[in-house]
Amino acid sequence: MSGELSPIDRAKFVAAKRAVDFVEDGMRVGLGTGSTAAWMVRCLGELVRDEGLKIRGIPTSTRTAELARQVGIEVTSLDEAKWLDLTIDGADEFDDELNLIKGGGGALLQEKIVATASDQMIVIADVAKQVSNLGAFPLPVEVIPFGWQTTKALVEETLVSLDVLGRETTLRMNGTSPFVTDEGNYIVDLHLNRISNARQMALVMNQIPGVVENGLFIDICDVVIIGHGDGKVEIRDINAGTVNEERIDFVDNDNLFADI
């Protein structure tokens, strides 16, 4: 398997492989959305199949739920689980304080709800996702469809008073139609280039009528596991103030990964 992967995919895989070591029998685990999170779901499925791990997974999107069921993970809802032991998810960007931009896959609302309902959030990412200042990746803002153009205009007006390098906003599309989230909403992507005060941005965006949620995850992530293409992983724990490096061996034959 490893010989067929690009360096980026190898980095995602080793981060995911290390992250599932945090999962213990009987846990309620939030399952993130995106390409890196998909590796994690498959790694968990491997543990369920080969080692008899018993967990309940709470997915953050319909596609994650489908994948989890395919690999044998018991899936339940957040309403049923009520509170989670752990959430493992990817990120589009993270900074030195482990603040994040998420939502590139369009699941930011469910991802934030699940992450904040967890005792711990672990983010898995390749090293390219690390930035000194958030904002190079477009910031997703989920808005209700009713009056979305008015909401978009209010967002643009608000950006004038914020310290950002860019102010272009675009409605996310799916072909010729607006992209629609699992909750039936639209996403406006903010092309800011740099966000000087992410905490302020997160608070201000959510005060705009029509905005449901934004993709800034502030003070939510506890641990980031950074994967590298050579199998090295770096584990940063913001609460313990520790940084550790390890190396993950690749697995060359596993049918859970055959279609990636």
Each residue of 58-78: pLDDT tens digit?
A: 999 999 999 999 999 999 999
Would 134 be classed as within a structural domain?
no
Would 99 be classed as within a structural domain?
yes
Task: Read off the pLDDT band of 251 (50, 70, 90).
Answer: low
Q: Is 35 flagged in the annotation as binding?
A: yes
253 pLDDT more than 90:
no
CA–CA dist 95, 100 (Å, integer) = 7
Q: Is 82 flagged in the annotation as binding?
A: no
What is the domain range of residue 248? 2-129+219-257
User: Are residues 92 and 209 both part of a single domain?
Assistant: no
User: Are residues 9 and 117 both part of a single domain?
Assistant: yes
Q: Is 62 flagged in the annotation as binding?
A: no
Instruction: Please report the pLDDT score of residue 2 as a whole number.
Output: 47
Q: Give tens-digit pLDDT for 178-235.
A: 999 999 999 999 999 999 999 999 999 999 999 999 999 999 999 999 999 999 999 9
User: Are residues 230 and 120 both part of a single domain?
Assistant: yes
Is residue 111 part of the annotated active site? The answer reads yes
252 pLDDT more than 70:
no
Q: Is 231 flagged in the annotation as binding?
A: no
Residue 138 carries which side chain, given as an amino acid letter? P
Among the options 93, 111, 142, 213, which is catalytic? 111
User: Are residues 250 and 193 both part of a single domain?
Assistant: no
User: Are residues 25 and 104 both part of a single domain?
Assistant: yes
Q: Give tens-digit pLDDT for 64-116.
A: 999 999 999 999 999 999 999 999 999 999 999 999 999 999 999 999 999 99
- Dihedral over Cα of 72, 107, 7, 88: its sign: negative
What's the whole-number mean pLDDT along residues 163-170? 97
Q: For residues 41 and 64, is the Cβ–Cβ distance under 8 A? A: yes
Q: For residues 119 and 84, is the Cβ–Cβ distance under 8 A? A: yes
3 pLDDT more than 60:
no
Kindly write down the DSSP assignment for every residue of 108-135, as one continuous string: HHHHHHHHHTBS-EEEEEEGGGB-SSTT
Instruction: Please report the pLDDT score of residue 249 as a whole number.
Output: 79
Instruction: Please report the pLDDT score of residue 114 as a whole number.
Output: 98
Backbone angles phi, psi at 73, to 5 degrees: -85, 135
Instruction: Please report the pLDDT score of residue 260 as a whole number.
Output: 44
CA–CA dist 214, 208 (Å, integer) = 11
Instruction: Please report the pLDDT score of residue 129 as a whole number.
Output: 97
Would 24 be classed as within a structural domain?
yes
Q: Is 89 flagged in the annotation as binding?
A: yes
Domain of residue 43, CATH code = 3.40.50.1360
User: Are residues 203 and 223 both part of a single domain?
Assistant: no
1 pLDDT more than 80:
no
Instruction: Please report the pLDDT score of residue 88 as a whole number.
Output: 98
What's the whole-number mean pLDDT along residues 31-38? 97
pTM of the model: 0.94
Task: Read off the pLDDT band of 250 (50, 70, 90).
Answer: low
